């Protein structure tokens, strides 16, 4: 056994060091480059940057098209803001903020997203707190239900809700009410999952310390647990908003008429028919409002976590 070891030529590790010494003559040939254990991962870097370009460039082009001077959706014809708030020659009342149809849809999008956000997040946060402290077999069942609503494909929720409101709960008319009930049902699991992850990393010690010092259970939650959960609650708000304003699968079946269709559904309907840059403007508007909410979230997150152990990666950690 020792023979095989001694047969190896002695290796001077220092000479293989990473930076300048590793660039020996052999690394200049392709085979030498391939064999060099400290070579930079060029292939992976190319794939990564290529992927990033492929994933974001089309969207940037689409945003650019919303400022198109012509009516084409595929070719750039000069800059103008006519598809946002102007009166384009080819379609005088077709601009996003001018067209009564798109304008109403825009308001419907914002209404649905804000309402969903303010209903789903409190219910979800309360559920997450309750479920992680409540003992016995019942919480496991409730958690199962919540996870099921999380993993099920959205189209199934959309269709079952449509059938539910058409055949059983007939007093809920298709429209804003039905849309809202379905959206909250689909979104309520996000805050639960995010808040539970945060509760695990917090542990129970702070709450126990509070009760030991004489706080009532409600005081312990309100003054100790909730402040610790603020970052997670904030992330939930942002994610639920971003997901709801883009949602068209559930909402489309429950619109009932074109007057309650939000912008996302309009974009879907128009994408299959006649496209104008106003549709790009509508999609850009959705993106912009999501960005505003996300930036607001980042700003508040910074303010809240100023005194705490704040990690930039924690926010992204919720997504993984």
Partner 1 sequence: MNILPRRRSRDEASGAWYPRWYWPGFALPGTLWLLVLFVLPFYVVISIAFGTVDPVFQSPLPVYEPWWWTKRYLAQEWHFATGEFRPVELRTIVYVILATAICLVFAYAVAYYVARFGGKRKGLFLALLIAPFFISYLMRMLSWVELLQPNGYVNSVLTFLHITPHPINWLAGVPFTVVMGLVYGYIPYMILPLYGFLDRIDQSHLEAGRDLGANRFWTFLRVTLPLSKPGILASLVIVTLPMFGDYYTNNLLSGSPKTTMFGNLLDNSMEATGQGPEAAILVLFLVVFLMIPMLYYMRETAKAQRNQ
Residues 228-287 that bind partner 1 (CB under 8 A): 242, 245-246, 248-249, 253, 264, 267-268, 271-272, 275, 279-280, 283-284, 286-287
Our CB check for partner 1 shows the closer of 41 and 100 to be: 41
Does 182 bind partner 1 (CB under 8 A)? Our answer is yes
Pick one of 138, 213, 226, 310: the residue that binds partner 1 (CB under 8 A): 138
Pick one of 1, 11, 19, 44: the residue that binds partner 1 (CB under 8 A): 44
Does 33 bind partner 1 (CB under 8 A)? Our answer is no
Does 18 bind partner 1 (CB under 8 A)? Our answer is no
Q: Do 250 and 157 form a contact (C-beta atoms < 8 A)?
A: yes
Does 317 bind partner 1 (CB under 8 A)? Our answer is yes
Collect contacts of 106-109 with beta carbons under 8 A, ≥24 apart. Answer: 106/263, 106/282, 106/285, 108/176, 108/260, 108/261, 108/262, 108/263, 109/245, 109/262, 109/263, 109/264, 109/286
**Positions in 72-91 near partner 1 (CB under 8 A):** 72-75
d(Cα 278, Cα 85) in Å, to the nearest integer?
9
Pick one of 83, 162, 190, 301: the residue that binds partner 1 (CB under 8 A): 162
Does 123 bind partner 1 (CB under 8 A)? Our answer is yes
Q: What is the biggest distance separating any 2 CA atoms in the chain, rounded to whole angstroms?
A: 88
Our CB check for partner 1 shows the closer of 96 and 245 to be: 245
From the list 17-25, 94-102, 154-162, 302-310, the region that binds partner 1 by CB under 8 A is 154-162
Output the smallest distance, CB 272 to partner 1, in A: 6
Does 160 bind partner 1 (CB under 8 A)? Our answer is yes
Does 163 bind partner 1 (CB under 8 A)? Our answer is yes
Does 149 bind partner 1 (CB under 8 A)? Our answer is yes
Output the smallest distance, CB 15 to partner 1, in A: 17
Three-state SS string over 277-307 comes to HHHHHHHHHHHHHHHHHHHHHHHHHHHHCCC
Our CB check for partner 1 shows the closer of 196 and 237 to be: 196
């Amino acid at each position: 056994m020792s023979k095989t070891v001694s047969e190896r030529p002695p290796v001077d590790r220092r000479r293989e060091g990473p930076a300048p010494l590793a660039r020996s003559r052999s690394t200049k040939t392709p085979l030498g480059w391939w064999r060099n254990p400290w070579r930079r991962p060029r292939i992976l870097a190319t794939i990564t940057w290529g992927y990033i370009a492929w994933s974001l460039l089309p969207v940037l082009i689409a945003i650019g098209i919303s400022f198109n001077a012509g009516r084409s959706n595929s070719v750039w014809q000069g800059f103008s803001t006519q598809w946002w708030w102007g009166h384009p020659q080819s379609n005088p009342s077709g601009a996003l903020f001018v067209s009564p149809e798109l304008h109403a849809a825009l308001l419907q999008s914002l209404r649905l997203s804000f309402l969903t956000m303010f209903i789903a997040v409190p219910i979800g946060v309360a559920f997450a707190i309750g479920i992680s402290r409540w003992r016995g077999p019942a919480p496991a069942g409730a958690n199962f239900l919540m996870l099921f609503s999380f993993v099920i494909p959205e189209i199934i929720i959309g269709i079952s809700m449509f059938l539910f409101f058409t055949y059983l709960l007939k007093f809920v008319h298709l429209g804003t009410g039905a849309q809202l009930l379905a959206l909250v049902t689909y979104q309520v699991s996000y805050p639960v999952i995010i808040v539970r992850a945060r509760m695990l990393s917090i542990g129970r010690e702070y709450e126990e310390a509070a009760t030991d010092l004489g706080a009532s259970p409600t005081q312990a939650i309100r003054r100790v647990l909730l402040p610790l959960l603020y970052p997670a609650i904030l992330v939930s708000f942002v994610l639920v908003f971003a997901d709801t304003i883009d949602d068209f699968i559930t909402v489309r079946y429950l619109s009932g008429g074109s007057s309650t269709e939000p912008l996302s559904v309009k974009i879907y309907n128009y994408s299959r028919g006649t496209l104008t840059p106003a549709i790009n403007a509508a999609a850009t508007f959705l993106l912009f409002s999501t960005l505003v909410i996300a930036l607001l979230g980042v700003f508040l997150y910074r303010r809240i976590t100023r005194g705490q152990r704040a990690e930039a990666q924690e926010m992204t950690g919720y997504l993984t």
